[in-house]
Structure 1
């Protein structure tokens, strides 16, 4: 009989995974932007794997909002963040923009994992539903994004922000426009 891990076991697994990713990133390229030549010929999934390995820089927003990519697979991206006092709104809880950015990152990267070399995307629409307040005492949260549809011109994804206990904090969806990278060879050859 399969039993789900406890919140403590899940938190321990999350902490270990973040420590491993943080170590790779600290020894890698650091925060920044990849040059077009660094990602030329790479699929979206290959690009994100290279970022996780520290071979490509990770985006500055990860430092700004205290979250990071921790896991990717085709059609899926997982980010982890820990709400901080500096993320609060005037009402005394985590600002909705923190949730929105964490969700947008997981949603967009889930789309990115499905793109062939020479293709890019941009968010056209994102919808966020916050269902539970987070505070600086909440601890780490994960945004888990999954592709719903990945087409030649349009992609959609959905994501959830959850705690290690499985509690839902927010969920969202995105619609992304898919287009060829200017100057890149077409994916068909």
Structure 2
């Protein structure tokens, strides 16, 4: 599912994506195993985006949304708020880490067949520009570099609407058989 190119800007795209999911019954929560059964990793993410499955509650806390998925690709967007600040008056590194880990993990998830899952084994982040609530939307675009039977690697960049780089990251994920409920 690709995001539509909109002249309204990134903030509007994020708001529209959230509203589409809510209009279809989407809400924060945890999917039950029976809801996930028979779905590939990508199908699970698409069901969350469409409102068929609940989306992670953390998305509301971090003010971020999954906007797009493709084969080996995921796009998350977040808008930093005052509640995401560190004591020095800029967005906390953990906010960047969450945005990047989410995009990276979901990119890996798009490659998983039915019955497979993953977890982050390693995450390496470089924050190259500070962000604040005045920064506006920041988008993490992640792509899978390698997916084997047990390990996957991916990379991502966080940029603003003008294409300025704020952070970049790589991950290694452990891929395993999903456990039954």
TM-score range, shorter chain: over 0.9
Q: Distance in 2 between matches of 1:10 and 1:135?
A: 24
Aligned length: 176
Deviation string, structure 1 residues 122-181 (Cα, Å, up to 9, x no partner): 000000100000001000000111000011100000001000000000000000000001
TM-score, reference length from structure 2? 0.93
1:154 — aligned with what? Answer: 151
Q: 1:119 aligns with which of 113, 116, 119?
A: 116
1:101 — aligned with what? Answer: 98
Once the two structures are overlaid, the 10-residue window that deviates more, 46-55 or 11-20, is 11-20
Question: Is residue 17 of structure 2 the alignment partner of residue 21 of structure 1?
Answer: yes
RMSD: 1.5
1:174 — aligned with what? Answer: 171
Q: Distance in 2 between matches of 1:10 and 1:89?
A: 32
Query: Any residues of structure 2 matched to 1:76-95 within 5 Å, and which?
Result: 76-95=73-92
Q: Secondary structure at the match of 2:172?
A: strand
Q: Distance in 1 between matches of 2:145 and 2:121?
A: 15
1:45 — aligned with what? Answer: 42
Q: Distance in 2 between matches of 1:79 and 1:140?
A: 10
TM-score, reference length from structure 1? 0.89
Q: Tell me the CA shift for residue 26 of structure 1.
A: 1.7
2:125 — aligned with what? Answer: 128
| Runs (5+) with no aligned partner, structure 2 | none
Q: Tell me the CA shift for residue 114 of structure 1.
A: 0.2
Q: Distance in 1 between matches of 2:135 and 2:6?
A: 14
Question: Is residue 58 of structure 2 the alignment partner of residue 58 of structure 1?
Answer: no
Q: Secondary structure at the match of 1:79?
A: strand
Deviation string, structure 1 residues 82-105 (Cα, Å, up to 9, x no partner): 111110101110000000000000
Q: Secondary structure at the match of 1:18?
A: helix
1:144 — aligned with what? Answer: 141
Counterpart contact for 1:11–1:164, Cα < 8 Å: no
Q: Tell me the CA shift for residue 10 of structure 1.
A: 7.2
